[in-house]
Amino acid sequence: MAVSEDDVRRALAAVPAPDGAGSLGESAALSSIAVMPGGRVIFSIETTPERASALEPIRRAAEAAVKALPGVSDVLVALTAEKAPGSAPAASRPAPTMARGSRPAPEGAAPAPRPTQPSGAGVPGVRHIVAVASGKGGVGKSTTAANLALALKAQGLRVGLMDADVYGPSVPTLFGLHERPVVENKRMKPLEAHGLKIMSIGFLVDAGTAMIWRGPMVMSALTQMLTEVDWGELDILVVDMPPGTGDAQLTMAQRVKLSGAVIVSTPQDLALADARRGVAMFRKVDVPILGVVENMSYYCCPECGHRADLFGHGGARAEAQAMSTPFLGEVPLSLRIRETSDSGAPIVVSAPESEDALAYGRIAQAAWARLTQGTPGRAAPRIVIER
Are 68 and 135 part of one and the same domain?
A: no
Contact criterion met (CB below 8 Å) for 259 and 118:
yes
Give the tens place of pLDDT for each residue, 293-307: 888 877 877 778 777
pLDDT of residue 100: 32
How many angstroms separate the CA atoms of 162 and 181, rounded? 13
pLDDT at residue 367 is higher than 80: yes
Note down the domain range covering 174: 126-372
Q: Please check the confidence at residue 314 and state whether its pLDDT lies above 90.
A: no
More confident residue, 245 or 60: 60
Give the residue with greater pLDDT, 134 vs 238: 238
Q: Assess if residue 378 is contained within a domain.
A: no
Nearest-angstrom CA–CA distance, 283 and 277: 10
Tell me the C-alpha distance between 265 and 5, whole Å: 39
Higher pLDDT, 368 or 97: 368
Inter-residue long-range contacts of 27-32, CB under 8 Å, 24+ positions, other chains counted: 31/80, 31/212, 31/213, 31/214, 31/217, 32/210, 32/211, 32/212, 32/213
Contact call for residues 340 and 278 (beta carbons, < 8 A): no
Cβ atoms of residues 164 and 222 within 8 Å:
yes
Contact by Cβ (8 Å): 237, 162: yes
Instruction: Give the CATH number, domain containing residue 19.
Output: 3.30.300.130
pLDDT higher at 64 or 376: 64
Domains contained in the chain, number: 2
> In terms of pLDDT, which residue wins out, 209 or 16?
16
Q: Please say if the pLDDT value at position 361 is more than 50.
A: yes
| Judgement on whether residues 76 and 213 belong to the same structural domain of the protein | no
With a pLDDT cut of 70, the percent of the chain lying above it is 76
Q: What mean pLDDT, rounded, does the chain reach?
A: 78
* pLDDT tens string 97-110: 333 333 333 434 44
Among 17, 47, 81, give the residue marking a domain's end.
81
Q: Which of 23, 51, 81 is the last residue before a domain boundary?
A: 81
Q: Report residue 338's pLDDT band, with 50, 70 and 90 as the boundaries.
A: very high
Give whichever of 171-180, 201-210, 296-305, 316-325 has the largest mean pLDDT: 171-180
pLDDT over 90 (residue 356):
yes
Write down the pTM of the prediction. 0.67
Round to whole Å and give the CA distance between 150 and 240: 13
* Interatomic CA distance for residues 146 and 163, integer angstroms: 9
Measured CA distances, 81 to 32, 59, 85 (Å) = 15, 14, 12
Residues 272, 144 within the same domain? yes
Q: Is residue 94 in some structural domain? A: no
Q: What is the DSSP code (8-state) at residue 91?
A: P
Highest mean pLDDT (candidates 120-129, 297-306, 353-362, 369-378): 353-362
Do both 277 and 213 map to the same domain? yes
**pLDDT of 235 above 90:** yes
Angstrom distances, CA of residue 31 to CA of 43, 80, 81, 315: 6, 10, 12, 42
| Percent of the chain that is helix, strand, coil (3-state, to 5) | 30, 20, 45
Is 335 a residue whose pLDDT tops 70? yes
Say yes or no: 168 and 25 in one domain.
no
Quick check: 357 pLDDT over 70? yes
Would you say residue 296 lies in a domain? yes
**Which CATH number do you get for residue 316?**
3.40.50.300
Judge contact between 239 and 251, C-beta under 8 A. Answer: no
Percent of the chain with pLDDT over 90: 30
- End position of a domain, from candidates 18, 47, 81: 81
Return the pLDDT at 161: 97
Q: Are 15 and 162 within one domain?
A: no
CA atoms lying within 13 Å on the CB side of residue 120: 25
Report pLDDT for 88: 40
Determine which of 54-68, 69-83, 233-247 has the lowest per-residue pLDDT on average: 69-83
